[in-house]
Amino acid sequence: MPVHPLMPVAAATALGAVLAAAPAPATASATVQQTLLTCQVATTSERPITFSPPVKLLPRTVTAQAGIVLTGCTSTSPSAAHLRSGIMNVHSTGRASCAGVRDVRGKGTITWYGADGRQTGVSTVRPSVQKVAGYNPGDMLLGGRVTKGALAGSNLAGTATPTSDVRACATKGLNAVHGTGKITFMT
């Protein structure tokens, strides 16, 4: 996939939103979710996940934006077989602290590319999660739903691990973080 340095990247935001909305285990009365597509996700050196104001020890309303690149996408569904990589741009707001995030709302897009590197479509994403517990406030961008375009109607969930130092979150605050992980799109 050609990644242009000037192209806005929101995959990090979507990665957080996706990871935050992981599906619950199936029960006898629950509908079993089908995985449509799984991708590796990562922020780029030029576009980390940013927080404004910085995330600190005590919860407060924070806006997060990020650049996330989706690569190595594998499909278990014919409807997603042509999607091999993507660039996700997401913008979300939630109550965040160093220990977690809640009440996330936002919007974003994923520009999809095929095996030949050509653009194959665009998806509109609505990050939306109730609560994310953990030390990575960037996960607020990795859960939600695709509302339009490729994979419309699917839910996304993911996990990410910070690749930059987050230890000073409680003492100095955290205004940016880099990370890598995985995102899954499900029916």
Please report, rounded to a whole number, the percentage of residues in the chain having pLDDT higher than 70.
76
Over residues 160-183, the mean pLDDT reads 91
Q: Is the pTM of this model over 0.85?
A: no
Query: Does residue 27 sit within a domain?
Result: no
Query: Does residue 53 sit within a domain?
Result: yes
pLDDT in tens, 147-170: 999 999 999 888 788 899 988 998
Query: Does residue 144 sit within a domain?
Result: yes
Q: Report the distance separating Cα 22 and Cα 88, nearest Å.
A: 18
Query: Does residue 4 sit within a domain?
Result: no
Q: Report the distance separating Cα 144 and Cα 166, nearest Å.
A: 24
3-state SS of 49-93? Answer: EEEEEEECCCCEEEEEEEEEEEEEEEECCHHHCCCCEEEEEEEEE
Q: Which domain holds residue 144?
A: 11-20+34-186
Query: Does residue 46 sit within a domain?
Result: yes
Contact (Cβ atoms closer than 8 angstroms) between residue 55 and residue 86: no
Query: Does residue 130 sit within a domain?
Result: yes
Q: Report the distance separating Cα 14 and Cα 138, nearest Å.
A: 10
pLDDT in tens, 114-129: 999 999 999 999 987 6
Three-class DSSP category at 152: coil
Query: Does residue 180 sit within a domain?
Result: yes
Q: How many domains does the chain have?
A: 1
pLDDT in tens, 30-63: 567 799 999 999 998 888 999 999 999 999 999 9
Query: Does residue 29 sit within a domain?
Result: no
